[in-house]
Amino acid sequence: MSGPPRPGARTLGAFVAGFAAAALLGAADPYAGFELYARVLSDIDAHAAEPPDLLRLVHASLGGMAGALDPHSAWFPPDTWGRMRAHEAGLELGIGAKVVADPCGLRVESVEPWGPAERVGLRVGDCIEGDDPARLVGREGEVVQFTARRGGEAKSYALVRAIAREPAARVEVHSGVVWLRVAHFHDPVVETLARAVPTRPAPRAFVLDLRGNPGGQVDEAARLVDRFVGSGTIVTVRQRGEPDRAVTATASRADWSQPVLVLVDGESASAAEIAAGALQKLGRARIAGRPTFGKGTVQNIFPYPDGSALKLTVGHYLLPDGRPLGAGLVPDVPLSGAPDFHSPFADQLATDPELATLVAALPAQSANSHPLR
């Protein structure tokens, strides 16, 4: 007497039947591998030494499928995608510090730069009273209260959970050179920079620091480039089956015409590479630093009813000369120093002779360019 079907067997039957129906309808040509896939899954289900979890196998195969496309496509099972969404939405955040169990309670092993723990002065080695790290995790914006000991001294803390992220834009002026620090393009940056750049006296040059910038909104990166150029194509988006979409610069009396030096490194990626590459290819700036990460592709997210999702590369970004970003940008001038973005720009120059020499050699505003207004 046969028992009820195993969990997953009914799903497999429908899976195989679906493939058979597709073949009968003439869909086997573009999806010829479906029959093989169904046969392999069926053999595993029937003959594996231990009854397999068919859904887990399907998810594993989908992960391999996405991973075989390119480095930036990926498949996320429901639990993984759910955690990612919760973190991005600020529903599952810690205090911006890694803690480990210790006889003293929870010892702080590392503190995230720009996070809430750093802002309130928590340090590596501090011991948080209690032994349950889960109480430190919760929603963004919630207040977390705890007591931590440093040596023999106890101190009470109240911090607000938030994503550890360097401010998107900062401006400093040193010896007539304006340092524009853009840490990421997840937030608007152009207005912040424009308000902070002095107009009198007019700067002699700009340093656009995109080191460690992982990218963000490409349109915001293009808007920043547009403040330095008056014409030309900044970036072109190319997707299969769609006409190319070009973002072009427009001239404005508010444009910055002074010489520009762009700083990049191996963590400068995506929108940051587009900004640096556009300024370089349009002849508006020189790039200094280390070769960039190399991410010139467009990704879309395709969510599915079971809570899983596919991140798929659907297009490419082209630089002003028509070439894809590809493997990244090669700086015009190599720099070996490691930046410390907690330090003022003047202090960075004091500790990085290569950078200081390069900044000191920046030419003044050319005679045919207009001053800032």
At 134-178, the pLDDT tens digits run 889 888 899 999 999 998 899 999 999 988 889 999 999 999 999
Q: Where are the beta strands (DSSP E) in 319-367?
A: 333-334
Residue 48 has pLDDT above 60, yes or no: yes
Digit-coded pLDDT (tens) for 191-241? 999 999 998 888 999 999 999 999 999 999 999 999 999 999 999 999 999
Q: Which residues pair with 143 in a beta bridge?
A: 160
Q: What is the pLDDT of residues 281-293, one digit of tens each?
A: 999 999 999 999 9
Mean pLDDT of the chain: 88
Determine the length of the chain: 373
Q: Which residues pair with 207 in a beta bridge?
A: 179, 261
Read off the pLDDT of residues 349-361 as tens digits, 9 standing for 90 and up. 999 999 999 999 9
pTM of the model: 0.80
- Mean pLDDT score, 76-100: 86
In the beta sheet, which residues pair with residue 199?
Answer: none
Q: Based on the number of CB atoms within 10 Å of its own CB, is 260 exposed (0-12), middle (13-18) or buried (19 or more)?
A: buried
> Domains in the chain, please, with CATH?
9-86 (no CATH), 97-160 (2.30.42.10), 169-360 (3.90.226.10)
Q: State the Cα angle at 57 between 56 and 63, rounded to 5°.
A: 90
Q: What is the pLDDT of residues 244-253, one digit of tens each?
A: 999 999 999 9
Interatomic CA distance for residues 123 and 109, integer angstroms: 9
